Amino acid sequence: MSSSRLAAYYGLPEKVVFCKRCVMSNQRPSSYPEFKHTKDRITPTLHIGEDFVCDACRYAEKKEDIDWEEREKELIKLCDQYRRTDGYYDCVVPGSGGKDSCYAAHLLKYKYDMHPLTVTWPPILYTDYGYRNFRNWIEVGGFDNITFNQNGRAHGLLTRLAIENLLHPFQTFILGQKNLAPKIALKYNIPLIFYGEPEAEYGNPIAETSTSLRDKSYYSMKDISEIYLGGVSVPELIEEYNLTLNELLAFFPADYSELEKSNIQVHYLGYYLKWTPQEAYYFATENIGFRARPFRTQGTYSKYNSIDDKIDDLHYYTTYIKFGLGRASYDASQEIRNKHLTREEGVALVKRFDGEFPDKYLQEVMEFIEMDTNHFMELCDHHRSPHLWQKQNGEWKLRHPVWESE
């Protein structure tokens, strides 16, 4: 039977195509306002051209031609325009203590003479080494920090709903990570927010890379009727799940009209400075004592990429289920683009590690969200798109594993 006749869930392209440079496929969703994520949304996905090169690789190529000295001058100009000399904060740097936020805050403060307020939406379940990295960032790095500690009951319930309805364990973290900084910036009247890497580096529409600014649609709302958490509308969360509006507020984006009035700008430092995760890692290690995970992360080969949340391993397992792309696919693609791996090496790593089941923290996560492990496994099977998966001798196999290099 031709695979094009098999149902494709989530609006994914029916025909699976891999990039010939990295190991990503056209099944990878682009980023999308997280609070609009519903069961039947159609997500835009990574564009791969007729030459079999994806937009993320295209962007990596473009990065080679960027005049980085010119871009740094733009950054200095921006900083000169907003730098405060009266002792007040002039920018917000969101982060939970990962290498990229450490690097961003450090550069802004010590190289560009800015006065960042760091803002943290903590991981769903901190790993102990992740928490140590966070403390080091603040204590060794020398930053003021506002941490928003979530209401555990609402947090656990919304995380469970996101898994049940969307198989998306990481949703509450993404919501907070995108929404908290603009809200704090509004409250404290701080005009600039700096994130690290532009998301386009991972395959958003390439047009988004031509600006340093983040579009407001990702972090603001015009009306509460736009909001879905765990795929459930706000009225339903209140009526069916016994949550109050007050308990949900922390997960909402900032108000659009308030943001309009304030002129707060969200920038990517990666637009102004050539950003490579490995360099951010080395920098954070040297300057604030950042430590990699003491063991290999399940599902991949790396030790230092997003290691502060126990639920993260599960998140990448679910991307493997939904899109056929596990954590090694993401890690290897990025390293191929930064020329730290060849495509052949990437393919071998994907074959070896993608989809490895992350059992290390599973029990703890299941306890936090009050879910039975068997139920989680059933949900996984329920979310396997027929165009990607088939059962062979009782085992699930990908119909379209990563293409070998020619």
> Least CB distance from residue 222 to Zn ion, whole Å?
35
Return the number of the residue (183 or 337) whose C-beta is nearest Zn ion. 337
Q: In this chain, which stretch among 21-29, 74-82, 282-290, 354-362 interacts with Zn ion, using CB under 5 A?
A: 21-29
306 by DSSP, 3-state: which? coil
193 by DSSP, 3-state: which? strand
Q: In this chain, which stretch among 22-30, 166-174, 187-195, 324-332 interacts with Zn ion, using CB under 5 A?
A: 22-30
> Least CB distance from residue 276 to Zn ion, whole Å?
16
Q: Tell me the CB-side half-sphere exposure of residue 69, using CA atoms within 13 A.
A: 0
267 by DSSP, 3-state: which? strand
Residues paired with residue 265 on neighbouring β-strands, in sequence order: 192
Site for Zn ion (CB under 5 A): which residue of 12, 16, 19, 332? 19
Residue carrying structure tokens 């904060």: 89
Q: Which amino acid is present at 178?
A: K
- How far CA 326 is from CA of 118, 321, 332, 334, 386, in Å, comes to 31, 8, 10, 13, 17
How many Cβ atoms sit within 10 Å of the Cβ of residue 308?
23
Q: In this chain, which stretch among 17-25, 72-80, 114-122, 278-286 interacts with Zn ion, using CB under 5 A?
A: 17-25
> Least CB distance from residue 319 to Zn ion, whole Å?
16
Give the Cα separation of 146 and 129 in Å (integer): 20
Q: In this chain, which stretch among 20-28, 171-179, 244-252, 266-274 interacts with Zn ion, using CB under 5 A?
A: 20-28
Return the number of the residue (308 or 331) whose C-beta is nearest Zn ion. 331
Q: In this chain, which stretch among 18-26, 103-111, 291-299, 391-399 interacts with Zn ion, using CB under 5 A?
A: 18-26
Asked if 301 contacts 351 with a C-beta cutoff of 8 angstroms, the reply is no
C-alpha 199: how far from chain center: 8
DSSP state of 88: -
> Least CB distance from residue 79 to Zn ion, whole Å?
33
Helices (H), 47-139: 55-65, 68-82, 99-106, 128-139
Return the number of the residue (57 or 125) whose C-beta is nearest Zn ion. 57
For residues 49 to 88, the per-residue mask of contacts with Zn ion, x marking binding by CB under 5 A and - elsewhere, is -----x--x-------------------------------
Return the number of the residue (22 or 181) whose C-beta is nearest Zn ion. 22
Return the number of the residue (122 or 326) whose C-beta is nearest Zn ion. 326
For residues 112 to 131, the per-residue mask of contacts with Zn ion, x marking binding by CB under 5 A and - elsewhere, is --------------------
> Least CB distance from residue 206 to Zn ion, whole Å?
12
Residues 330-389 that bind Zn ion (CB under 5 A): none
> Least CB distance from residue 354 to Zn ion, whole Å?
16
Query: CA 161, 162, 166, 168 torsion: positive or negative?
Result: negative
Return the number of the residue (309 or 335) whose C-beta is nearest Zn ion. 335
Size of the site for Zn ion (CB under 5 A): 5
Return the number of the residue (19 or 125) whose C-beta is nearest Zn ion. 19
Taking alpha carbons only, the member of 248, 249, 252 closest to residue 178 is 252
Task: Give the tokens for residue 335.
Answer: 């390293």
Q: In this chain, which stretch among 11-19, 218-226, 348-356, 378-386 interacts with Zn ion, using CB under 5 A?
A: 11-19
Residue nearest to Zn ion (CB): 19
Asked if 402 contacts 351 with a C-beta cutoff of 8 angstroms, the reply is yes
Return the number of the residue (21 or 310) whose C-beta is nearest Zn ion. 21
Return the number of the residue (201 or 313) whose C-beta is nearest Zn ion. 201
Residues paired with residue 232 on neighbouring β-strands, in sequence order: 229
Return the number of the residue (5 or 339) whose C-beta is nearest Zn ion. 339
Taking alpha carbons only, the member of 80, 55, 340 closest to residue 198 is 55
Helix or strand run (H / E) with residue 233: strand 232-233
**If binding is defined by CB under 5 A, does position 22 make contact with Zn ion?**
yes
User: Under the rule (CB under 5 A), what is the footprint of Zn ion?
Assistant: 19, 21-22, 54, 57
